[in-house]
Amino acid sequence: MKPRVLQYGRLMPSLEKQLAEAFDLHRLVDEADPSAFLAQRGAEFVGLATAGFADAALIAACPKLKVISSFGVGVDKIDLKAAAERGIPVGNTPDVLNDCVADLAIGLMIDVARGIGASERYLRAGSWPKGAYPLQRRMSGKKLGILGLGRIGHAIAKRALAFDMDIRYHNRRAVADTSIAHEPSLVELARWCDFLVVISAGGAGTKHLVNEEVLNALGPEGFLINVARGSVVDEPALVRALQDKRLGGAGLDVFENEPQVPAELMALDNVVLVPHIGSATVETRAAMAQRVFDNLKSYFSTGKLISQA
């Protein structure tokens, strides 16, 4: 008998197909009243496939649940405590997205410093014949601060070295086996660096770590890049800092209330805004989908996940 798996939310069509072939899959999105369905039939499911979401209520609604497999590395919207209390392992998709997220971080750094997007808007608006675009900022050889030196942080550092950047990082605790200097104070890191890249985990433990004080320390010639979670940055404080020109600019892939982006941010020219595309390439999304499948397959055949959050 195929294990009964609940699919929460939509997944890539190719992944949904693969899951439906291997498991007795049920898509919660097809239910007119998902809560009533779960109340009645939640006990049927032993597996849950999701794209980053599983709160305590959803976990409780599936009393026989044995495993969760999530699309994405971030598990900040999965109640890990509720899962752990029931001994339910949570699978995620680390490593396969490191390169693409790191590529995007570097892309945002170059764009915000050099004004690629902003100067293209200038050109398309027909402004070039009226005068040259104002001089922007150099990235090569500058100072990079990384908030959250994990797997993706290391991939960003590796790329930044090719731009002759001087690199330091802030984590709560220093990381072993790295030659990159640890800065115990995030404010001091922000004061030191020209570019502060946020690539820490999301969730309660990192909420609003990048606050007004950090943004002021980064200063009018500093750039903030966020490819982690919107929750790590105090967004209203960021908007005010950008509007007051207390911060040089920002490159943002993530926002506090996605897919809503504050109109105040959209009105600014010294920001580069992209819609959470860090892992959004054909190659990386295929690898993430495969890991979601492999985690479930592995759990049901060996009792172990390939990658556990």
Least gap, CB of 39 to ligand 8YV (angstroms): 27
Q: Characterise 76 by phi-psi region: left (phi > 0), alpha (psi -120 to 50), beta (else).
A: alpha
Q: In the window 269-298, what residues touch ligand 8YV (CB under 6 A)?
A: 276, 278-279
Q: Which residue in the list 170, 229, 285, 291 is annotated as catalytic?
A: 229
Give the β-pairing of 90-91 and 67-70.
parallel
Q: Is 151 a catalytic residue?
A: no
Q: By CB under 6 A, tell whether 73 contacts ligand 8YV.
A: yes
Among 42, 47, 74, 145, binds ligand 8YV (CB under 6 A): 74
Nearer to ligand 8YV, 52 or 107 (CB): 52
Q: By CB under 6 A, tell whether 155 contacts ligand 8YV.
A: no
Question: What's the CA gap between 1 and 188, in Å, rounded?
Answer: 58
Question: What's the CA gap between 113 and 92, in Å, rounded?
Answer: 33
Least gap, CB of 238 to ligand 8YV (angstroms): 19
Judged by CB under 6 A, how many residues of this single chain contact ligand 8YV?
Answer: 10
Among 71, 192, 255, 293, binds ligand 8YV (CB under 6 A): 71
48: enclosing H helix or E strand: strand 47-50
Q: Which of 260, 206, 259 is nearest to 234 (CA)?
A: 206
Question: What's the CA gap between 104 and 22, in Å, rounded?
Answer: 34
Q: By CB under 6 A, tell whether 52 contacts ligand 8YV.
A: yes
What the block records as the tokens of 59 is 């976990």
Q: Is 10 a catalytic residue?
A: no
Binding mask 92-111 for ligand 8YV (x = CB under 6 A): -----x--------------
Residue 67 pairs with which residues in a beta bridge?
47
Q: By CB under 6 A, tell whether 54 contacts ligand 8YV.
A: no
Least gap, CB of 289 to ligand 8YV (angstroms): 10
Nearer to ligand 8YV, 119 or 226 (CB): 226
Helices (H), 78-207: 80-85, 98-114, 116-124, 151-162, 186-192
Q: By CB under 6 A, tell whether 198 contacts ligand 8YV.
A: no
Nearer to ligand 8YV, 240 or 276 (CB): 276
Q: Is 258 a catalytic residue?
A: yes
Question: What's the CA gap between 141 and 49, in Å, rounded?
Answer: 44
Question: What's the CA gap between 69 and 213, in Å, rounded?
Answer: 38
Nearer to ligand 8YV, 46 or 101 (CB): 101
Question: What's the CA gap between 159 and 165, in Å, rounded?
Answer: 9
Q: Which residues bind ligand 8YV (CB under 6 A)?
A: 51-52, 71-74, 97, 276, 278-279
Give the active site residues. Answer: 229, 258, 276
